[in-house]
Amino acid sequence: MGSDKALLPVNGIPLLQHILEQLRLVLPRVIVSANDPDRYPFLDCQIVPDRVPDRGPLMGIASAITASGCRHNLVVACDIPVIDHPFIATMLSESDDYDCVVPRTADGYLEPLFAVYRDTALPIANGLLARGVRRASALCDHCRARQVPLPPSLQLHNLNTSTDYDAFVAELSR
């Protein structure tokens, strides 16, 4: 994208703040895991630095689970601008018997950065990190994972390119 996605403006506020406001409607506590927490002084929440910088999304997940102290942890990437509350409730309701509950798209892809991770996934994440693994999807491959199909009516928008971002902003203005 060429810039920090979390800071892209959405209705006059940074994308990350836009996501936090949606999450606060249904979650009692929201924390942010950030490789560089000093970039987000405007956020009114706990910001957790990665335990080891520049080790990828898996380090962010492990750092957030450690800091949260919670049994169930919803992880949402900073580039998924629309939060579907009923789907979050579905994932949380299915998380008791699994280390993670992860959406599966119609074409079979997993969305490990919009998933629920139990604290039981933390030792597995730490083991993967010790072996140099950085991908969040690896955690889903190595733990008791429940794959929940995304309903056809639900699409998780990832803003990976400036074209994606421009299309999302245009859709909002309609």
Tell me the pLDDT tens digit for each residue of 39-96: 999 999 999 999 999 899 999 999 999 999 999 999 999 999 999 999 999 999 999 9
Using only C-alpha atoms, the chain has a radius of gyration, in whole angstroms, of 16
**What average pLDDT does this structure show over 122-149?**
96
pLDDT at 29 over 80: yes
Q: How many DSSP H helices and E strands does the chain contain? A: 6, 8
Among residues 56, 33, 64, the alpha carbon closest in space to that of 135 is found at 56
Q: Which domains are delineated in the chain? A: 5-173 (3.90.550.10)
Query: Is pTM, for the whole model, over 0.85?
Result: yes
**What average pLDDT does this structure show over 117-128?**
98
Residue 1: per-residue pLDDT: 67
